[in-house]
Amino acid sequence: MTPVNRSVLERLPKAELHCHLDGSVRPETLLDLGREYGVAMPRYDAESLRDYMVVRDARNLEDYLSRFATTLSVMQTAESLERIAYELATDSWREGVWYLETRFAPNLNTRGGLTSAQALKAAIKGLAKAEREYGIVSRVIVCGLRTLPPTASMDMARLAVDFRNSGVVGFDLAGAESSNPPSVHAEAFAHARAHGVACTCHAGEGDGAASVRDAIQSCCVDRIGHGTRLIEDGALTDYVNDRRITIEVCLTSNVQTRAAKSIEDHPLREYMSRGLNVVLNTDNRLMSGTTLTDEYHLAANNLGLGFDDLARVALNGFESAFLPWNEREALALRARTAIDALRGPQS
């Protein structure tokens, strides 16, 4: 059997489909940008700031999201957005991520005078620079926000459509989930789908399985972000499985937001035993103090997943990407070849 250790997991070709740009900023970059723009940071050295930004005391999803005020405070210029996107893609490549989808809501990056389109274009520019230098394929998912009016979500859906062939591959709904059902924003999803933009939606993290059902039935999404509490509805779990709707699992952040009591209590292993299409993700590298390799390591050590299990999860990521089919297949084929080489000769 192929051993599951950190070295192997770093070399395992991985795809990251659920990673928030404004939740994945290097602490050193936060300090640099804070000094440049005259924005005070809650801590004044990188290690202290890194420690502060990891959420350890959240009572719920809303508490967890409060940390984003710090990162967004310095993400209001084209230069900062380009830098942060470039650094995220670079950091991902260094741990064996071949494909990255990062998501954010560009209408939150307009306080310094940028338009949403300019903010989006800056992030895409940073990702493209990393792709030229390292070969990591990176794309953007544009987010609407539950806590803003449906008209704002429609604006973001239109933006996603405008950039559909220029670095954007999807549309999402994020933000505080409880009492903010996806169906309120259904028209934005309909607009995205009608113009060929794939859709995902945060659901089953800060609310129950009914939220997942609403996202699927009202918004017709291709993937579900988190889906931790989907397991509470057996019929819906079967429906998701039968239609191969991808579940974007984020182990560490699910424990931080109280969606799961612990890694050991997370339903990932149960989802896999039932055959669901699951992928592992970081959610927010900074706030969760994690990397994608860390998430795979947790799945191996705390949930007993072996190499073949994790290889299947990795391939799910490539196969569930929002890339065009031929690009997706080419990446998946390369990944399969690399995985077979990691396995080595089989007796």
Question: What residues act catalytically?
Answer: 205
How deeply is 261 buried, as exposed, middle or buried, from its count of CB atoms within 10 A (0-12, 13-18, 19+)?
exposed
* Tokens describing residue 49: 């700031």
Query: Quick check: helix, strand or coil at residue 327?
Result: helix
CA count, 13 A, side-chain hemisphere, 102: 32
DSSP 66: T
Other CB atoms within 10 Å distance of the CB of residue 333 = 11
Amino acid found at 9? L
- Count of residues for the chain? 347
Whether the Cβ atoms of residue 151 and residue 191 lie closer than 8 Å to each other? no
Whether the Cβ atoms of residue 126 and residue 165 lie closer than 8 Å to each other? no
Task: Name residue, tokens 């799910």.
Answer: 316
- CA-closest candidate to residue 226, choices 275, 281, 269, 172: 281
CA 168 vs. chain centroid, Å, equals 14
Distances (CA, A) of 125 to 21, 33, 35, 130, 150: 14, 18, 23, 9, 28
- Please name the residue ranges forming H helices in the chain: 6-11, 27-37, 46-53, 61-65, 68-72, 78-94, 116-134, 150-162, 186-194, 209-219, 234-242, 251-256, 268-274, 292-303, 307-319, 325-343
* Tokens describing residue 229: 């509490």
